[in-house]
Structure 1
Amino acid sequence: METILEKSSSKVIWSSMKHKYKGSKMTLRIDFEVLQLKEGEGVNAFFARTFTIPNKMKMHGETLTQVESNDLDKVTIDELQGSLLVHE
């Protein structure tokens, strides 16, 4: 709110907000690209993060497409999560 109050016009506010959230978009992209299970993190927490990051990216205007490797063509996300929970 302080950032907005200091600006002189809506154009300056918009430019400032665009600049501020562009960094968030890039940070989210990096977080998504290096996504991996953290030490001591449970499968459910990992899957929650797996869905949270792309949802935030979409909120920032990022367009995501779903790409699967050949090995995962026959496995749904629910089956994968269930299998990982069993191994956990």
Structure 2
Amino acid sequence: MTPEQRTEVKELKFKDLKAKNYLFQAIDISILETILCKETSKHIWDSMKTKYQGSTKAKRQQLQSLCSEFETLRMKERESASDYMGRVMTIVNQLRINGDKTADVTVVEKILRSMTSKYDFVVCAIEEANDLDEITLDELESSLRVHEKKFIKHTNEGEQALKATTDGASNRDRGRGRGRGQGRGNSPYQNQE
């Protein structure tokens, strides 16, 4: 080897040691023990990549599982719109991390399609008022939250009105049946002999 080549090899080894040092600093101790035997930073990086990203086959299976979960996702009857959006976005983010290119419009359509029946008029209003290709997920969530607050307000008002009605009716009913009732023979509708 020439002196220039030796210098170049020495510099490359130094850069590799520097990269290994950075990797060792960033990796948890329990994981560090599994990669200490790797000789170069490239071997460490490849090992970590395989360990955390998985093989292509594993990624494909993960993606298929997530796609299936996304397709079957439905809003639960007592679930809030925010909670449902959170569940949907968790799956969508996992899909995107694993290489899926799900467009926002697909997610918006899925959410609107899988809401419970109490949101039917809200879904219709959103579809009529907006171009679904243009509406963002944040705008959709905001709109659903506003309508959900109205649901809650009307439900609370309805429950209070129902309670007031039933309380008033039960107070009136308490007055009935007290005192003398109409026993046998006292009915004005009976024929008197």
Give the deviation of 1:72 after TM superposition.
Answer: 5.9
- The count of aligned residue pairs is 81
Give the deviation of 1:30 after TM superposition.
Answer: 1.4
Match runs of 1:69-88 below 5 Å:
70-71=127-128, 73=130, 76-77=139-140, 78-87=142-151
Match runs of 1:42-53 below 5 Å:
42-53=80-91
Whether 1:58 and 2:96 are equivalent positions in the alignment is yes
> What's the C-alpha RMSD, in Å, of the aligned pairs?
3.3
Show structure 1 runs of 5+ residues with no match.
2-9
Letter of the structure 2 residue corresponding to residue 23 of structure 1: Q
Letter of the structure 2 residue corresponding to residue 33 of structure 1: E
Deviation string 1:22-62 (CA, Å, 9 cap, x unpaired) is: 11101111111222112443332211011111111000000
Shift in alpha-carbon separation, 1:25–1:38, aligned structure 2, 3 A: same
> Is the Cα–Cα contact under 8 Å of residues 37 and 46 in structure 1 kept in the other structure?
yes
**Does 41-50 or 75-84 show the bigger shift?**
75-84
Shift in alpha-carbon separation, 1:35–1:79, aligned structure 2, 3 A: same
Show structure 2 runs of 5+ residues with no match.
1-30, 32-45, 110-126, 153-193
> Is the Cα–Cα contact under 8 Å of residues 43 and 85 in structure 1 kept in the other structure?
no
CA distance, structure 1, for counterparts of residue 148 and residue 73 of structure 2: 16
Shift in alpha-carbon separation, 1:65–1:18, aligned structure 2, 3 A: same
* Alignment TM-score, normalising by the size of structure 2: 0.33
**Structure 1 segments (4+ residues) deviating >2 Å:** 38-44, 66-72, 84-88
**Does 75-84 or 26-35 show the bigger shift?**
75-84
Percent identity, aligned pairs only, is: 18
Give the deviation of 1:63 after TM superposition.
Answer: 0.6
